[in-house]
A and B are shown apart, each in its own frame.
Chain A
């Protein structure tokens, strides 16, 4: 089984249903590159201070709390979206190096680069002429 299949299956097998408050599931893209898994998550309104990315026992947890909108003295006339906590968990396959995750947040998008462990990176096999 490849590592990305593990990510998907573990996430479905263990959904977290009990939480302290309702949370939005951020939409994510996951891209596999030869060296790493790249995760992009939409977290609109979340600043660095409100972001929490943790990794424990092979589970990667993304939590984000958006900055409150400045609406003092204003009346809400029309509402199409709610602002609230973001929460999502992924299981990391053993092929991923969970201790060396690189995280950046820009314009409400979290970008995680999770390197593959050495043995799962592609190696070019030199062909020696006999």
Chain B
């Protein structure tokens, strides 16, 4: 099987959000009918935020934590990794092989320059979660109205 496909996507403006949602509905329906579909970018990510931080989550099951490489440079977050299929012995063979494997790179543009030292990442139950605190200088400040 081929490597994960990848793309660079400055998606904070999210013009494809509606398309994505429509595609996922199709995908879910196809899944229900037993048809397998291929996602375009791996890993799929969800991005959450509030005034204090942004949180990026990604489903990457079956990884060794050490095979995940997360870097932050300014406002660019990069997630790299590889998931290798287990080696089969001579008498073993795949009857079915659906789970993806290979190396992947995902680059995301953040809405703010993150404080690299403060970024925290956890990997639990196959879900990667990256917490990026918003630096003080990037937090919205309330403007006082005089008069």
Chain A residues packing against B (C-beta within 8 Å):
4, 7-8, 11-12, 15, 17, 22-25, 27-34, 37, 40, 42-47, 66-67, 69-71, 73-82, 106-109, 122
- Least distance between B77 CB and chain A CB atoms (Å): 12
Query: In the complex, what residues of B have CB within 8 A of residue A107's CB?
Result: 61-63, 123, 125-126
In the bound complex, CA of A58 to CA of B13 (Å): 50
- Select from chain A the residue with minimum beta-carbon distance to B61: A108
- Least distance between A2 CB and chain B CB atoms (Å): 9
In the bound complex, CA of A77 to CA of B20 (Å): 13
Let me know if A74 and B20 touch, CB within 8 A: no
Let me know if B126 and A71 touch, CB within 8 A: no
Let me know if A29 and B97 touch, CB within 8 A: yes
In the bound complex, CA of A19 to CA of B122 (Å): 33
| B95 in complex: contacting residue of A30, A42, A74, A80, CB < 8 Å | A30
Query: In the complex, what residues of A have CB within 8 A of residue B62's CB?
Result: 40, 42, 106-109
B94-124 at interface with A (beta carbon < 8 Å): 94-100, 111, 123
In the bound complex, CA of A30 to CA of B95 (Å): 5
Query: In the complex, what residues of B have CB within 8 A of residue A24's CB?
Result: 28, 31
Using A17-B32, A82-B24 as known contacts, say yes or no to A43 and B50 having CB atoms under 8 A apart. no
Residue B60 interfacial (CB < 8 Å)? yes
Let me know if B24 and A34 touch, CB within 8 A: no
Residue B33 interfacial (CB < 8 Å)? yes
| B20 in complex: contacting residue of A31, A43, A47, A80, CB < 8 Å | A80
Number of residues of chain B lying within 8 A (CB) of chain A: 48
| A29 in complex: contacting residue of B33, B98, B111, CB < 8 Å | B98
- Least distance between A83 CB and chain B CB atoms (Å): 8
Query: In the complex, what residues of A have CB within 8 A of residue B96's CB?
Result: 8, 28-30
Residue B45 interfacial (CB < 8 Å)? yes
Query: In the complex, what residues of A have CB within 8 A of residue B80's CB?
Result: none
Residue among B36, B44, B95 with the most chain A CB within 10 A? Answer: B95
Let me know if A31 and B12 touch, CB within 8 A: no
| B49 in complex: contacting residue of A15, A69, A75, A122, CB < 8 Å | A75
Query: In the complex, what residues of A have CB within 8 A of residue B59's CB?
Result: 44-45, 81, 108
In the bound complex, CA of A67 to CA of B126 (Å): 11
Query: In the complex, what residues of B have CB within 8 A of residue A82's CB?
Result: 24, 28
Using A78-B46, A79-B17, A80-B46 as known contacts, say yes or no to A29 and B94 having CB atoms under 8 A apart. yes
- Select from chain B the residue with minimum beta-carbon distance to A82: B24
Residue B93 interfacial (CB < 8 Å)? yes
